[in-house]
């Protein structure tokens, strides 16, 4: 079945450090891939997405490239800020029998210190 595995947290970084959060997936079809972010006390919100292989999603300095050969969608940012402290979720959708549904990873807590 469809599933997402992302790196265990928590991740703690100093401001301006480089961030990578790993995400790999298993899917029966040709999924779209997503990164969602959850700030404290809020719901999840879309950070970026990619709908086909080799696409790169980007937003707010974050990037992720859809790698079909390695079934991965790692999240990166070159220089994190304190305001990036949040929980990050990798997710996939597989437009088969589960059209509309997203499969989420467990989430990775990121804390950035000044």
Partner 1 sequence: DAGVIQSPRHEVTEMGQEVTLRCKPISGHDYLFWYRQTMMRGLELLIYFNNNVPIDDSGMPEDRFSAKMPNASFSTLKIQPSEPRDSAVYFCASSLVASQGDTQYFGPGTRLTVL
Residues binding partner 1 (CB under 8 A): 32, 34, 41-46, 49, 51, 89, 93, 95, 98-102, 104, 106-107
Query: Residue 49 or residue 77: which is nearer to partner 1 going by CB?
Result: 49
In the numeric block, the tokens 């999240």 are attached to: 75
Q: How far is the CB of 34 from partner 1 (least distance, A)?
A: 7
> Torsion over CA of 61, 12, 109 and 99, rounded to 10 degrees?
40
Query: Residue 52 or residue 68: which is nearer to partner 1 going by CB?
Result: 52
Query: Residue 26 or residue 51: which is nearer to partner 1 going by CB?
Result: 51
The answer to whether the CB of 107 falls within 8 A of the CB of 5 is: no
Three-class SS of 27-40:
CCCCCEEEEEEECC
Q: How far is the CB of 67 from partner 1 (least distance, A)?
A: 19
Q: How far is the CB of 103 from partner 1 (least distance, A)?
A: 8
Q: How far is the CB of 32 from partner 1 (least distance, A)?
A: 6
In the numeric block, the tokens 């879309």 are attached to: 46
Query: Residue 34 or residue 80: which is nearer to partner 1 going by CB?
Result: 34
Query: Can you tell me the distance from the alpha carbon of 47 to that of 38, in angstroms, rounded to the nearest whole number?
Result: 9
Q: What secondary structure letter does DSSP report for 82?
A: G
């Amino acid at each position: 079945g469809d599933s997402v595995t992302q790196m265990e947290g928590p991740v703690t970084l100093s401001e301006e450090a480089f961030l990578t959060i790993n995400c790999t997936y298993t899917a029966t079809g040709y999924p779209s891939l997503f990164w969602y972010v959850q700030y404290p006390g809020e719901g999840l919100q879309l950070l970026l997405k990619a709908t086909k292989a080799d696409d790169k999603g980007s937003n707010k300095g974050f990037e992720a490239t859809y790698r079909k050969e390695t079934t991965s969608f790692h999240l990166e940012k070159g220089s994190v800020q304190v305001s990036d402290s949040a929980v990050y979720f990798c997710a996939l959708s597989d437009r088969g029998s589960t059209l509309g549904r997203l499969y989420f990873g467990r989430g990775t807590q990121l804390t950035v210190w000044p």
